[in-house]
């Protein structure tokens, strides 16, 4: 569990750090004011905040209201206030601002750890409930034609994978796939046959997934996406190559294609290693890579890092 300690006293920050680290928790994030605290929350997954109420500038009560207002319900972070004021009205104000508990300084290490353990249990229970709800939502977010996740389900699943990527600091890859010349396929073979082709291609894509963590979704029309949590770029490239190979082996007839006499696909790949700061930017990078693969002649793979390298070489 990642803890954020917000206190303008270096002595208090060091004391709290010593207590939680000795209890087996990771090194906490440290902030001396609201600005540093918000920066940590923005770039890291925070599971618990231990916060002084009397902070310079924006105090702990104001900061808590801002956190509760800016974060969605599924990003709830428990907040325990640490303060020198042992006053019932102050306690009421702290809870009303959005705090979850209240401890008076100097903090008793045993009491602090008991509170932290309690919040950890609640946080773990919420995480398990969120995962269960995600699985239930997926059952209602299936594309009726291809029997894979639909666009809405993809959006939610990508955000879930993104949060896991940030929490665990593991590489996340995304494949954007487009069936080549599919409009021409529909124009010549008819839409009913086009629907059958989409179902066949979706089934082929599914056979290339490695485990239950990999997720295939229909993005729209003849476009598909594959989310690959905890996956290196090289592993993502290998999966993409297996897709192109299976399409070549399957040889789904497409005599009107400008690429080959069978169905082919273009694939763009992006990875969090390329500096995407949000899930949407990761998707945008995969989309740019797909466009490059199509402009290069289709039936091929393009990685975002290759686009970046070409741009760098051009500048040199």
Cite the active site residues: 222
Measured at the alpha carbon of residue 89, what is the angle toward residues 79 and 73, in degrees to the nearest 5? Answer: 30
Whole-Å CA distances, 22 to 15, 18, 205, 254: 11, 6, 48, 65
- Bridge partner residues of 122 (DSSP): none
With a CB cutoff of 8 Å and minimum separation 6, the contacts of 72 are none
For residue 264, give the 3-state DSSP assignment.
Answer: coil
34, 65 contact by CB (below 8 A): no
Q: Work out the burial of residue 72: count CB atoms within 10 Å of its CB; fewer than 13 is exposed, 13-18 middle, 19 or more buried.
A: exposed
Chain centroid to Cα 136, Å, comes to 19
Distance (Å, whole) CA 10 – CA 208? 53
Structure-token pair, residue 155: 């959006």
Whole-Å CA distances, 130 to 31, 55, 68, 143, 227: 28, 33, 18, 22, 19
**298 CB neighbour count, 10 Å cutoff:** 18
Distance (Å, whole) CA 230 – CA 172? 5
226, 212 contact by CB (below 8 A): no
With a CB cutoff of 8 Å and minimum separation 6, the contacts of 190 are none
With a CB cutoff of 8 Å and minimum separation 6, the contacts of 252 are 197, 200, 201, 262, 263
The dihedrals phi and psi of 29, each to the nearest 5 degrees, come to -80, 145
Bridge-based pairing of strands 223-228 and 173-179 is antiparallel
């Amino acid at each position: 569990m990642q803890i954020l300690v917000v206190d303008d006293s270096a002595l208090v920050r060091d004391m709290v750090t010593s207590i939680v680290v000795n209890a087996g928790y990771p090194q906490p994030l440290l902030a001396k004011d609201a600005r540093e605290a918000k920066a940590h929350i923005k770039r890291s997954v925070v599971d618990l905040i231990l916060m002084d109420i009397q902070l310079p500038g924006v105090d702990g009560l104001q900061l808590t209201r801002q956190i509760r207002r800016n974060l969605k319900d599924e990003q709830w972070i428990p907040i325990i206030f640490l303060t020198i004021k042992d006053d019932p009205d102050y306690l009421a104000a702290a809870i009303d601002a959005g705090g979850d508990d209240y401890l008076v300084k100097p903090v008793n290490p045993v009491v602090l750890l008991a509170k932290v353990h309690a919040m950890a249990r609640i946080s773990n229970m919420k995480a398990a409930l969120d995962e269960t709800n995600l699985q239930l939502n997926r059952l209602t977010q299936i594309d009726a034609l291809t029997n894979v996740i639909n666009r809405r389900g993809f959006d939610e699943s990508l955000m879930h994978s993104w949060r896991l990527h940030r929490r665990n600091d593991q590489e996340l890859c995304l494949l954007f796939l487009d069936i080549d010349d599919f409009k021409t396929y529909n124009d010549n073979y008819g839409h009913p046959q086009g629907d059958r082709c989409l179902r066949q291609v979706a089934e082929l894509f599914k056979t290339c997934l490695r485990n239950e963590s990999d997720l295939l979704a229909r993005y729209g029309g003849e476009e598909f996406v594959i989310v690959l949590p905890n996956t290196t770029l090289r592993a993502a490239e290998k999966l993409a190559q297996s897709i192109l190979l299976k399409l070549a082996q399957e040889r789904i007839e497409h005599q009107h294609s400008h690429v080959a006499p069978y169905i082919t696909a273009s694939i763009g790949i992006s990875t969090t290693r390329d500096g995407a700061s949000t899930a949407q930017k990761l998707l945008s990078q995969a989309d740019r890579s797909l466009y490059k693969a199509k402009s290069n002649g289709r039936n091929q793979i393009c990685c975002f890092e290759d686009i970046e390298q070409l741009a760098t070489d051009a500048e040199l």
